[in-house]
Structure 1
Amino acid sequence: MQIKPKRVRTLRENKGWSPETLAERTSKLKGEDGRSLAVSAKTIRRLEGGQKHRPRANTLCGLAKALGVERGVLTGDQPMPDERRPENSKPSVQIAALIRPRYRLAYALTKQRYGVPASALIEMAPLLFTLLAEGSLRRRRELLARAREAIAVLNGQHDAAGRLAYGLAAYRAEDIADGEEASIEASDVFGRMIPEGSYDASADPDATNPFADYLKHLSDDLDATARVEVEEGTAWADAPDGFPAYAVCRTDLDRIVASSPRARFGLEQGHVRLADMPDELLADHATAERVRWIEERVPEEEWVEWTAMIASIDLDQSSDVGAVQ
């Protein structure tokens, strides 16, 4: 009776649990004979690592109960839950196919850093976005309140003869503040309802928005550039419409690819997935082997095309600098 290591790990990660969480779940279970079905986190790691040993019946029973599956699923005698699809049911949409490679890599790096699988992050995305959206709206309310106070001061800064007509500017500012308030109350997080006249003549309302500004402000405030970087603006961002471009766990990616641009290209373009990489290659002492393994999986034709494109961009930029000088 052997437990399939990959099945235990997959079922655990699908629930967003760490080995310790799964161990805690088993500690609350008892078998029909009243015995504890607890399985230690150390045992779980050993099982998932594929170490050869025959687990006790209570170990199999405890893991199966905690994971909510039949024991045969863990031994391979029964199919995994997602493989039991009714004959007439439609195939589920593969969310991963809708996400561009560089953002799939962001999920993988996040999982590696924090131990949270992509499935859990996807399910939690509405909560996380709502919290950020409400944080952005609150910041805008605070800024608006300060603007209203300044407008009140302007209104009082002119004399009876109208020689100091700051009040004229106050009327214009009040119109802008009213537009911002209406946008906030409508939960217009990207500021698409704000009248164009509210912007300075040199400003481009399509290049940024209040939510993108808030994310940039938040990332700068955290001062955690090793973990998260948010770029300025959204007009040319390689991100969903209205969002800024970003990078997470950049130092982790730097460690993985070392100084190899080809290895970085392979991961960012989806030619290689971290999940497919053998665990032993992720060790710090395996840098050369890891980089070679990634580079070998990058199609030569695509790499040549990419490097030629980058070289042409660099040449164009150099020509522009020369023309300015």
Structure 2
Amino acid sequence: MTFSPLRLVMFLGAAITTIMLVTIHLKDSGEYAHIFYLLSVSTVAVWILNSRVPNMDSFLAFIQESLGKIGVQASIQTETAFYVYLLVLLLLITSFFYSTPRRSRELGFIVFGVLFSAPFFRSLVYPPTPELIGITAFMISISLMTSLVFSPRGVGLLSQTLILSIVTVVAIAIEPWNIVLLVAFILTFPRKKRNIAYVVLVLLGFGAALRAGLVWSPHIPGLTFKLVFSQLLLPIALIGYSLLFRSDVIIPILKNSKGPTPFLVLLLVVFLIGSITTPRLLPYVAITLTLLSIRLVFHTRDTGRIIVRKEESSKT
């Protein structure tokens, strides 16, 4: 694969800009969250640089086929597909941090570590497959749903809901079971006007994708309960610890039917049941299980403490 200087500069510009903006935003979102984000990105960058250029055939074919179905006839270079893959990977890592509680975005580093330490998950990431786009869209959807403070104003509310709807449609188009995102969001984040707009936009988008033939039925071979859960012992242990030793804190939260934690519980239950007959859902089980374990750990610690920044502490 040959590299074009122009394409390389464009990719680096997009990637560096994204990393800078996220890093700046994460500075006020937890203790050293921005440092852990840079560490996560750097870890993956070193991994990619020390690996061979992955086989891009299936990923490239997916992009070209998708563009063809919407009437865009273009010859996509392997190099371009590789850069798209890296940007998708960057968005996936970023979504790990924004799927954690607002005051503790540094916990995204644990999400990153747990998932990327699992060989089955790394096999979905490298070499790239179409499922990676679905998983990334799923993660971004969760990040937006659990992080966005939706504007009460009409224009702001519509724009935020539109962005969320687009990402959700992509997630559903790659994995139809992700329709549960729509249901879980409505049930656990009740807000009438926003939810009506969200449902309408997602259904319209999904209908358009279905009509264009953009709804896929992914196939991820080799996934079994034994394989996946043997690589997820840490989040399972964290959930077990929270329920056994901090039940006084966790049980009231689980009894609540509103908010991010019940949202993740509902997703996990649906994906667990679905994965019995559809093993390709196991990556989604792994993601929701990991996110839920981090949420429970967050709830068990003292979240009322005030984080004193260096600038403030130096004045005292």
Which TM bucket (shorter chain)? Answer: under 0.3
Greater relative contact order, per chain length (Cα 8 Å cut-off, separation 6+): 2
TM-score (norm 2): 0.22
Query: Larger Rg: 1 or 2?
Result: 1
Bigger proportion of residues as helix? 2
TM-score, length basis structure 1: 0.22
